[in-house]
Amino acid sequence: MEWRDEGIILGARRHGETSVILEVMTRGHGRHMGIVKGGRSRRQQPLLQSGNRVELVWRARLDEHLGTFQVEPLVLNAARLMDSAVAIFGLQTAAAHLRLLPERDPHAGLFETLGVVLEHLDQPQVAAMLIARFELMVLEELGFGLDLEECAVTGQREQLVYVSPKSGRAVSAEAGAPWHEKLFPLPAFLRPNARETADMLTLESAFRMTSHFFARHVYEPRGIGVPESRASFLAAVRRAIQQE
């Protein structure tokens, strides 16, 4: 078995004396693992860092085997991001979300979006907005997507300012007014085709909303906790915005 694909490195761990097991998000083969022989060498280590975009050749005798990777560089993002807490925790958070999906399931949209996230991880405000959108995409891929395009009550597509915590559907200002205290505010930057930016209060509101749906549909049913990197990411974003 053999395939060639483009991937973004999510992490690596030691394997034996000289090799590593590399975890990547690929365009056509989803989140995938493989052994890189000699991956702990001085020549290979800078290449096999989280965030780097690489060309991969995967080989194995059978499809279900772990297999081996041959890795060539495309874009070495790690050196640019390693001094930023926002970037480090943002990438760790995105990787943790991707691990909620079945290994080797292709999710081309998530791969492309992760690439966009990587380009902006050194811009805290933009990075937070992109990670929030990324979380909505992961929920969608898991089968728990939110419907933010029309009001759950009236069907209208204008003045959508709330989200129902039960249905995950948008609610208009007029329809939601009597129950506004029980509804999530819909951050403007998460609306379809939105171009708005977000301050820290709006960002925190967005992450409270996505956190609710992850807990309800994913974390609690699976008996797992929220990734620690997520809180660290938000704290780093908050510090960075306050210092601007």
**pLDDT tens digits, 98-154:** 999 999 999 999 999 999 999 999 999 999 999 999 999 999 999 999 999 999 999
Tokens of 183: 């509804």
**89 neighbors 236 (Cβ within 8 angstroms):** yes
Q: Which CATH superfamily is domain 2-76 in?
A: Nucleic acid-binding proteins (2.40.50.140)
Query: Chain-wide mean pLDDT for the chain?
Result: 95
3-state helix, strand, coil in the chain (%, to 5): 40, 25, 35
Q: pLDDT tens digits, residue range 45-85?
A: 999 999 999 999 999 998 889 999 999 999 999 999 999 99
Amino acid at 239: R
Tokens of 34: 């493989």
Residue where the block lists tokens 């395009």: 149
**197: three-class secondary structure by DSSP:** coil
Domain boundary assignment for the chain = 2-76, 83-148+186-243
Tokens of 80: 């640019």
Mean pLDDT to the nearest integer, 149-167: 94
Alpha-helix runs per DSSP H in 82-184: 85-98, 108-120, 124-141, 173-176
**75: three-class secondary structure by DSSP:** strand
Residue where the block lists tokens 């999906």: 101
C-alpha distances in Å from residue 82, one per residue of 76, 92, 130: 11, 12, 19
Q: Is the pLDDT of residue 40 over 90?
A: yes
pTM for this prediction: 0.94
